[in-house]
Chain A
Amino acid sequence: MTLTHISKTFFPNSPKEVKALKDINITIKKGEFATLSGESGSGKTTLLNIIGGLERPSSGKIILDGLDLTTLSDEAMSDFRLRHIGFVFQAYNLISVLNVRENIGFIMRLLHYRDKEIDARIKELAQMLQIENILDKFPNQLSGGQQQRVAAARAVASRPKLILADEPTANLDSKNAQRLMEMLRTLNEKEHITVLFASHDKYVLEQSKRIIVLSDGAVIEDR
């Protein structure tokens, strides 16, 4: 994925105008395990949302496999997200009326996988994430760590090309944060899924193979 001259301005031409991103140029290769880092307000979440197609850049291009994502319609972008991108949010964002099993299989259902395939994948991920015993529980019956593991399982269930994780460890204790990172790392290595974090958590940064540091909406370091 190549980002060229990406800028994002909120409330343009108004007294409240905020330049969240300024001329970002980065390339993320397949199979990377990278982190967008920076202080609060540096633009890392905005950049993550733009990469995931949740927000449109004010200017610039995002090219993935030769396709410019900024030219896609809302419905096409929605379909693209469904097929190629998995999200892990800071606040887990599980669907409250679905149990764990149904939450994990949700995206696969939208993609019309067969029930057998969905069940097999849920079983596989549940074992990997050690959540077999909570499959029939609802989100409000789970701890934060359990919810985040379920959210991660949902994100990877359909084997997307890219997982975007926005501050995934922010609400977790160190033990659960470690467990989540291990799981994402395993998926990255076993299934060659590209993982991109937006985080300033030390532990996440230590685990990342590449760190892109943003400050005031610009990339100031890429190592």
Chain B
Amino acid sequence: MFKTAFQLAYKSLFRRATRTSMVVLMIALSLSGLLLLQGLYDGMVTHMINTTLRSDCGEISLYAKNYRLEQDLKYHIDDIPQLQKSLDQIKEIDTYAIRLSQQGLIATAHKSFQATLKGISLEQEKTFGQLDRFLFQGVFDFGKKDENALIGEILAKNLKVGLGSRLVFSAQDANGEINAISFRIGGILKTGNPLIDEETVLIPMKKMSNFLSLPDSATQIALRVYDPSSVKPLQKILQNRLKDLEVYRWDELYPLLIQMRQMMDLFNLISYIIVFIVAALGIFGVILVSILERMREFSVMLAIGASHTQIRLQVILEAFIMALFGYTLGSLLGWFFLIYTASIGIDLGYFEAGLQSFGLGSVLFADIHGYYFLEAFGAVVTASLLSSLWPLYLLKKIDPIRIIQGKML
């Protein structure tokens, strides 16, 4: 029964080629658009997460107890060389960056803003998050005598300063004394992470230690891991080994990113529903018209001995075959769009300011995951099967004799 129904469905579709092509094309275009949107939504979130991980917290960050709550230098991590030895022994850790931060006031002769001064190691940051790739202007270097600093692009804009400008940063040191430090801007960073771009100035670790009177100390140690799935177990290991420290995962430090991902998932779902309805209505319309036009044909088939089941199967197969062709073409198109946007990206320079406020660059890159295509397959097949329900109900009511004799339809 299946073989005959399949042959009939196949022939019926191919001998009504124009109509079939229209439906297949409609499914394919909707689907490819959907895949592209899904890839872009995911790509935007992935970009934000990657930027944050690379420029700040890694997958896991260590802080002295109470530091995150109080932001007070008395809660700092000390004996860094000993801690480094411990971290080096943990095989899940790929690399780490040690930072010493203090909030204070950054000023030029004309303007001042609240900012965070961070002592870092350029070499560590290169390995940790390829921070050098975020360089927007100048050089990724503190100068021969460590006299230069790197500054976030928006902060530089707000201060109306450029390369070579002199800045003064004043803050409280570890002894509670007000202290000040001056430097010239050697490089400007544009990371996409608002915390860095809007309020951070980076100077050499040694200079920062002297400024705050905190040798061999840090306020944050950020870790990168080899395997993202090892983050939770590693957090537990570190919590057990480093009892004096607080151990946070990136999603605990940046819950907004998780909310952003959930929001994008919601957008994806809404897009899916829209495409699902469009595809279902398209297939429904075509199948309905096709069945109404072919009532006589089906009646003849019933009259000469085909069963209702046989004809129902044929109609379902017609819907399924159209869905399958639409899916195949749509997947290929979608894959092409995704590959293009994943490698070259979509330049939305016109919206740069808006995108930057979300921590995004002006060029959006798409993500590609195999499950996009599985989900799309499920959606298209379900849409095609659901859309054939009403036409099938109409078929059930066929009275072959009345139709053959022209008394109905």
Residues of A that sit less than 8 Å from B by CB: 45, 49, 52, 54-55, 74-75, 78-79, 81-83, 85-87, 89, 91, 93-98, 102, 106-107, 109-110, 138, 154-155
Contacts and interface: CB of A to CB of B under 8 A. Distances in A.
Contacts of A98: 8, 11
B8 A93 contact: no
Interface of B is mostly: helix
Contacts of A106: 304
5 contacts: A54-B303, A54-B400, A82-B306, A89-B300, A110-B306
A154 B11 contact: no
Interface string B298-333: 001111111111100000000000000000000000
A50 B368 CA distance: 62
Contacts of B12: 97
A81 B303 contact: yes
A54 B306 CA distance: 12
B401 A78 contact: no
Contacts of A74: 308
Nearest to B4: A109
Nearest to B15: A97
B297 A81 contact: no
B401 A49 contact: yes
B407 to A, nearest CB: 11
Interface size class of B (residues with CB under 8 A): 20 to 34
A110 B305 contact: yes
A107 B304 CA distance: 8
B304 A87 contact: yes
B307 A75 contact: yes
B266 to A, nearest CB: 44
B345 to A, nearest CB: 47
Contacts of B7: 109
A109 B296 CA distance: 20
A78 B306 contact: yes
Contacts of A78: 302, 305-308
B241 interface: no
B305 A93 contact: no
A52 B234 CA distance: 78
B305 A54 contact: no
